[in-house]
Amino acid sequence: MEKIYDTAIVGGGIAGYTAALTAKNLLLDYIWLGEEGFGEKLRLAEKVTNFPTLIGSGSDFSAALKEQMAAEELILTPRRVEGIYFMGGAYSLTSGGETFTAKTVILATGVEARGAIRGEKEFLGRGVSYCAVCDGALYRGKRVAAVLTNKKFEEEAEYLAKFAQKVYCVCLYENPTITGEKFSVLREWPVAVEGGMRVERLAFKEHTISVDGVFFLKNSAPPESLAFGLKTEGAHVAVGRDLSTNLPGLFAAGDITGRPYQYAKAAGEGCVAAHSVKTYLRALQKK
Ligand SMILES: Cc1cc2nc3c(=O)[nH]c(=O)nc-3n(C[C@H](O)[C@H](O)[C@H](O)COP(=O)(O)OP(=O)(O)OC[C@H]3O[C@@H](n4cnc5c(N)ncnc54)[C@H](O)[C@@H]3O)c2cc1C
């Protein structure tokens, strides 16, 4: 029989970390899904002067977390979640052909520094996608653009080339290494997704390219593209004081819930969200 966790924590940054640590201390049966290394934002900080007890850089922060993680025997399952679906009273989380099931979810996937471009949200599901693995096969024989914010997404662009006739790789980072006859590499920021009923073009400042689909491959996709029906306010998930969202048993923590974008706020919310999960599950049991 498939295992059903008490909670699935999505996101390997400081909010997800603290949620997992608190869940463990509350004796919740958790699964923590995210990338190893506590997130790029933490690793990149040159100097952190506003987090209790920490004197040093983001790498020092990361090293301290790694040590605590080992001491507390916290387990991270290194997966990128592609979709979160509420079915039969529990959440199914999909990742590369695998599915994880949990009674509740804590979403701690952060926010992208640069927001969506014009047309990006409007064409979601009509040619715009945030997941090559989920939607790549829909573009067999077609022309697509893949907007990559990080080298690590080159693998996803290569996956698209298995289906598409042509992949325009818009590489927004230094030294892209993607090669192959199906690829054209562009090194400029796109400004808009354009079209009619569906995507027809990706526009740059001074030219456009004709495409059938645009994949935005970034660290933090808009939350509503992960969990259908999730209520947002701008780039953030709408939450109550207990960090509950409009979806039953789905909580959010960290940058994803809004400003200030700070480690201490993200860590605090990770803790609150795990406590809210405990309260929610207790109430469910009494029903
Ligand atoms: C250069 C820099 C310096 C900073 N310096 C400071 C500072 O000195 N002090 C301070 O208080 N704050 C600082 N910040 C802000 C701080 O980094 C953020 O507030 C904090 O990292 C937010 O934590 P988070 O866990 O909410 O999100 P993030 O750190 O963004 O973590 C989210 C994680 O979720 C992952 N993720 C996204 N989608 C998925 C998915 N579908 N499946 C699995 N995982 C996913 C992401 O890859 C990422 O690892 C700095 C930020 C930057 C960029």
Domain ranges within the chain, ordered by starting residue: 4-112+221-286, 128-217
Predicted structure pTM score: 0.94
**How confident is the model over 40-97, as pLDDT tens digits?**
899 889 999 999 999 999 999 999 999 999 999 999 999 999 999 998 889 999 998 8
Tell me if 4-112+221-286 shares its fold with 128-217: yes
Classify residue 243 by burial, with Cβ atoms within 10 Å: 0-12, 13-18, 19+.
buried
Choose among 209, 184, 183: nearest CA to 195: 209
The residue to mutate among 21, 33, 41, having the most atoms of ligand 1 within 8 angstroms of its beta carbon, is 41
**How confident is the model over 232-280, as pLDDT tens digits?**
998 899 999 999 999 999 999 999 999 999 999 999 999 999 999 999 9
Between the CA of 42 and the centroid of ligand 1 the distance, in Å, is 6
What CATH class has 4-112+221-286? alpha beta
Between the CA of 162 and the centroid of ligand 1 the distance, in Å, is 32
Place of tokens 């456009």: 208
Pocket of ligand 1 (CB under 6 A): 10-16, 33-35, 39, 41-42, 44-45, 48, 50, 80-81, 108-110, 219-220, 226, 254-255, 261-264, 266
Classify domain 128-217 at the CATH topology level. Answer: FAD/NAD(P)-binding domain (3.50.50)
